[in-house]
Amino acid sequence: MSDPATFDQRQRYTALMDVVRNRMTTRQFDENYVVPREHYELILEAARHAPSGANAQPWHYIVITKPELKKAIADYFVEEQHVRAKLKMKFPTPNYHGLETAPGLIVVASDFRWTRAFPVLMDGSELDRKYHENAERILLQSVAASTMSAHLAAAALGYNSWWVTAIGQEHAQNTLKPLLGVPADLAIIDIFCFGPAAKPPYKRWKKELAQIVSWDRFDMNNYLTLAQIDEWVREKRSQAMYRDESKVD
Ligand SMILES: Cc1cc2nc3c(=O)[nH]c(=O)nc-3n(C[C@H](O)[C@H](O)[C@H](O)COP(=O)(O)O)c2cc1C
């Protein structure tokens, strides 16, 4: 039988948690900093080891080094921000000009044809459609697992990072893919920025452990009604996104 002591390597856990806890989003970077090439490789090496459905590893990372490309990407997001404002979406949108200032900017792409590697029927039936829907979730979770490893590696190197996903729309794909020579079969999933923060980053509010964990059976104390979720969106979302946790009421 395995010895539980083998699974209690507290020092390694503490070192990992130091990185996990101090991974903090920043949306404005020290734009004069130049990321050494080795750091891109160290960060993406972490991405490479991520788990994925069927071990398909359905991710691709495009490192953007040219300032004019960073600007073009930032311009797209700023424009999208205007579109959302006009639509009165009421989402507390950040200043996407910050993308231009990111010393490290990596575009995360995926190829949805990899859904074939997951449990699907491939017979065009309604049941197949449902399995395909599930397969897309498997694919997106896989890409997120790899992207998260990269974010943590950046944090381990002392950088702050920014995960940008305002990108699902066809317009984003049509604008950004040609700019970067991404083949039509692939999709851009998100943008990963990192570097030294321009201002001291702050720790955002996180739920308590008891709020996110149940043991053996879902704890209904943590069930929220739709009205409660709507209230959170209305009253708390913007603080959760943009405020230091010690200043959230
Ligand atoms: C899947 C995902 C999508 C996100 N999309 C955006 C985005 O489009 N724009 C943005 O400014 N921040 C985005 N973020 C960053 C979150 O706003 C941020 O992680 C959150 O407020 C918690 O702050 P923290 O990262 O400092 O813990 C995203 C984060 C994740 C994980």
Q: What is the pLDDT of residues 200-243, one digit of tens each?
A: 999 999 999 999 999 999 999 999 999 999 999 999 999 999 88
Contacts of 132 (CB under 8 A, 6+ apart): 115, 120
Report the pLDDT value the prediction gives residue 168, as an integer from 0 to 100. 65
Please give the pLDDT value at position 2: 87
Q: At residue 156, what are phi and psi to the nearest 5 degrees? A: -60, -30
Which atom of ligand 1 is closest in space to residue 242's alpha carbon?
21
Q: What's the rounded mean pLDDT across residues 77-104?
A: 87
Q: Is the pLDDT of residue 84 over 90?
A: no
Residue 61 φ then ψ, to 5°: -115, 125
Collapsing DSSP states into helix, strand and coil, what is residue 160? Answer: strand
For ligand 1, whether the C-beta of 202 sits within 6 Å is no
The pLDDT, as a whole number, for residue 44 is: 98
Q: Copy the structure tokens of residue 53.
A: 């459905």
pLDDT one-digit tens code per residue, 109-145: 999 999 999 888 888 889 988 999 999 999 999 999 9
pLDDT at position 90: 80
**Cα 25–Cα 28–Cα 33 angle in degrees, nearest 5:** 105
Task: Spell out the alpha helix ranges (H) of 95-125.
Answer: none
Asked whether residue 49 carries a pLDDT value surpassing 80, the answer given is yes
Is 163 near ligand 1, meaning CB less than 6 Å away?
A: yes
* Shortest-distance Cα residue to atom 6 of ligand 1: 164
Selected residue with higher pLDDT from 195 and 168: 195
Residue to mutate (ligand 1; options 165, 167, 190, 245; most atoms within 8 A of CB): 165
CB of 148 closer than 6 A to ligand 1?
no
Q: Considering Cα of 32, then 200, then 16, then 50, what sign does the dihedral take?
A: negative
Q: What is the DSSP string of 65-129?
A: --HHHHHHHHHHHHHHHHHHHHTT-------GGGGGG-SEEEEEEEEGGGGGGSS---S--HHHH
Q: Contact at 8 Å (CB) between 163 and 192?
A: yes
**Residue 47: pLDDT above 80?**
yes
Q: Tokens 């490893």 identify what position?
A: 149
- CB-based contact 32:198 (threshold 8 Å): no
Residue 51 has pLDDT above 90, yes or no: yes
In whole angstroms, give the CA distance from residue 58 to residue 189.
11
The per-residue pLDDT of the chain, averaged, comes to: 93
**How far away, in angstroms, is 164 Cα from ligand 1 center?**
6
Q: Which domains does the chain have, with CATH numbers?
A: 13-201 (3.40.109.10), 203-249 (no CATH)
Eight-state DSSP code of residue 199? S
Is the shortest distance between the CB of 164 and ligand 1 below 6 Å? yes
**What is the predicted pLDDT for the residue at 27?**
96
Tokens linked to 57: 């590893």
Dig out the tokens for 85 from the structure. 């404002």
Record the pTM: 0.95
Mean pLDDT, range 140-166, rounded to an integer:
97
The pLDDT assigned to 151 comes to 98
What pLDDT does 89 receive? 81
Q: How far is the CA of 6 from the centre of ligand 1 (A)?
A: 35
**What is the number of the ligand 1 atom nearest to the C-alpha of 166?**
8
Looking at residue 93, what is its pLDDT?
Answer: 81
Q: What percent of the chain has pLDDT over 90?
A: 78
Report how far Cα 11 is from the mean position of its chain's Cα atoms: 27
At residue 169 the predicted structure's pLDDT band, cuts being 50, 70 and 90, is confident
94 Cβ closer than 6 Å to some ligand 1 atom: yes
